[in-house]
Amino acid sequence: MFRHFGRKKLFAMLLALLLLSLCMSTMLLRSASAASTLAQAGAQSGRTIGVAVEANLLGNNPYTTIAQTQFDGVTPGNEMKWQTTEPSQGTFNFGPADTIVSFAQSHSMKIRGHTLVWHSQLAGWVNNITTSSALLSAMNNHITTEVTHFKGSIWYWDVVNEAFNEDGTRRSDVFQNVIGNSYIEDAFQTAHAADPNAKLCYNDFNLEDMNSAKSQAVFAMVSDFKNRGVPIDCVGFQSHFIVGQVPADFQATLQKFANLGLDVQITELDDRMPTPASSANLNQQAVDYATVAKDCLAVSRCNDITIWGVGEPDSWVPGTFSGQGQALLYDQNYQPKSAYTSFLNALAGTTVTPTPTPTNTPTPTSTPTSGSSCSVHYVISNQWNTGFTTTVNITNTGSTAINGWTLVFNFPNGQTLQQSPWNGSFTQSGSTVTITNLSYNATLPPGGSLSSPPGFNANWSGTNSPPSAFTLNGSACTVI
Ligand code: G3I
């Protein structure tokens, strides 16, 4: 009888323990998914989440707001390339790159230096050098001067970029043709001598599938470097993907290179598709971004994922691949796409099935609201059988002034703006309404509301629900 009572007690205790551990794991899952930025989500597992930026796009705009709030890493898109930094021999220009370095440092972002030796965006004079000694001297001087200029600021350098062909042979460029195979290790030695604390990467595209001839050739080179003590710390996998084509063995490839004693980084991630984008492709893209995040998280030496741009307007893809685009996490209006949400969730270690996204419809609702620094009160002050009048009250709930703002929301029921809205510059594209400040109501002081809030008349039929989400300069606002 006593033994029977004891067993019951034991069973009850075990049940209680099970329930407790279930509760705790749910709480942990909740806290893991509570990250409100990509940087916060990546930081939960010690990963840096970076973005490529261009100096001439930085300013008071959604692009910059997103770069500085969502990411904790920066790669200059073009400004550290030879064409810009040494346009004529011995004349150096670090101005554009310095702009990005200052931007990154003022927001505590790590900096990937990109790139010291590359056949493209190379200053023309380099291609005219015909002797090995002269080119080696020019290359080493370029590397030493640039690495020294940025000494102490750069986390990882892409020392040599894209030196291989798809078939695994060396690319025929001036460095290969005039100096020969040894130029790559010379470049690493020189960079290391100039800044022994900077980590040094070889960076390339189409390395992600270990079965490709190029991936195997790069693997052979870097394992030889490791064996011979050439100072290499990392391999950068550019990861310019086509939607639905993230290689199934990407995680295994990252691990294979990491096993050499190297860090592995995803350095230029994007995922392009034909435009206008279909909802099926946007959904697949959300899966792809989550897959890449999981692949990196599964490899302890994968410590960085850098996205190659903020949103569609600044992406290199539409200008290079005609009829393709939508490769990034933010759309043409700098609104987060479903890929943003699924990438964020995957970084935070939660598995969420992406919500289908209608074609070309931005999804402001997908931005997490915690941590937002604005609130919006959408007031319908008058409504009649076909029309209504609205005032959109905007409050800056943050602690710094907002100078210049763009508010974006979606009409949920097919509402359409009428002519002559007030206190803002308005556009409507599909269901998306974008309102930008006028000169007299550009500033929102900390804790303050617009004294001249934007307003409009619009048409409706059937239902006239208010928008459920708003973003101000790319960040989600609390809806009140
Ligand atoms: O700045 C000029 C502007 O004044 C001019 O009006 C305009 C007209 O074409 O061109 C502007 O320069 C462009 C530059 O980007 C700045 O936006 C160049 O044409 C354009 O060719 C250049 O493209 C860059 C590309 O490298 C060159 O190959 C992209 O921005 C940059 O994102 C891209 O990045 C590379 C990585 O470095 C290496 N891996 C591949 C990746 C994509 O190509």
119, 164 in Cβ contact below 8 A?
no
Mark whether 378 and 334 lie in a shared domain. no
Residue 24 lies in a domain: no
C-beta 120 within 6 A of ligand 1: yes
Mark whether 383 and 301 lie in a shared domain. no
Residue 460 lies in a domain: yes
How far is the CA of 432 from the CAs of 183, 409, 414, in angstroms? 52, 6, 10
Mark whether 341 and 406 lie in a shared domain. no
Point out the domain boundary residue: 284, 314, 348.
348
Residue 365 lies in a domain: no
Mark whether 148 and 294 lie in a shared domain. yes
More confident residue, 444 or 48: 48
User: Domain containing 156: what range?
Assistant: 34-348
E strand or H helix that includes residue 391: strand 387-396
Mark whether 383 and 428 lie in a shared domain. yes
The whole-angstrom distance between residue 339's C-alpha and the CA centroid of its chain comes to 11
Mark whether 134 and 56 lie in a shared domain. yes
Tokens 């020392």, residue? 159
More confident residue, 443 or 109: 109
How many angstroms does the Cα of residue 54 sit away from the middle of ligand 1?
10
Mark whether 329 and 411 lie in a shared domain. no
Residue 366 lies in a domain: no
How many angstroms does the Cα of residue 316 sit away from the middle of ligand 1?
7
Residue bearing the CA closest to ligand 1, atom 34: 77
Cα distance between residue 250 and residue 208, in whole Å: 5
Q: Write the pLDDT tens digit of every residue in 338-360.
A: 999 999 999 999 754 444 444 34
Whether 446 has a pLDDT exceeding 90, the answer reads no
Mark whether 339 and 413 lie in a shared domain. no
Mark whether 131 and 205 lie in a shared domain. yes
> What's 468's domain CATH number?
2.60.40.290
Residue bearing the CA closest to ligand 1, atom 19: 319
Q: Write the pLDDT tens digit of every residue in 465-479.
A: 889 998 998 888 888
- Return the ligand 1 atom nearest residue 309 CA: 32
Residue 174 lies in a domain: yes
pLDDT for residue 395: 85
How many angstroms does the Cα of residue 434 sit away from the middle of ligand 1?
28
How many angstroms does the Cα of residue 77 sit away from the middle of ligand 1?
8
Mark whether 186 and 72 lie in a shared domain. yes
Q: Model's pTM, two decimal places?
A: 0.71
Pocket test for ligand 1, best of 121, 160, 266, 328 (most atoms within 8 A of CB): 121
How many angstroms does the Cα of residue 121 sit away from the middle of ligand 1?
8
Whether 237 has a pLDDT exceeding 90, the answer reads yes
pLDDT for residue 3: 47
Mark whether 305 and 448 lie in a shared domain. no
Catalytic residue among 162, 185, 208, 312: 162
Residue 268 bears catalytic tag? yes
Residue bearing the CA closest to ligand 1, atom 11: 78
Whether 429 has a pLDDT exceeding 60, the answer reads yes
> Who contacts 15 (Cβ-Cβ below 8 Å, separation ≥6)?
none
pLDDT (mean) for 255-266:
98
Q: Write the pLDDT tens digit of every residue in 363-378.
A: 333 333 334 688 888 8
Residue 25 lies in a domain: no
Q: What angle, 0 to 180 degrees and rounded to 10, lies between the N-to-C axes of helices 250-258 and 213-228?
A: 20
Number of domains the chain is built from: 2
pLDDT tier at 259, thresholds 50, 70, 90: very high
Whether 291 has a pLDDT exceeding 50, the answer reads yes
C-beta 78 within 6 A of ligand 1: yes
Mark whether 340 and 386 lie in a shared domain. no
How many angstroms does the Cα of residue 157 sit away from the middle of ligand 1?
19
Residue 360 lies in a domain: no
C-beta 268 within 6 A of ligand 1: yes
The whole-angstrom distance between residue 348's C-alpha and the CA centroid of its chain comes to 15
Residue 84 lies in a domain: yes
CA angle 449, 453, 459 (to 5 degrees): 140
C-beta 316 within 6 A of ligand 1: yes
C-beta 121 within 6 A of ligand 1: yes
Residue 162 bears catalytic tag? yes
- Return the ligand 1 atom nearest residue 320 CA: 43
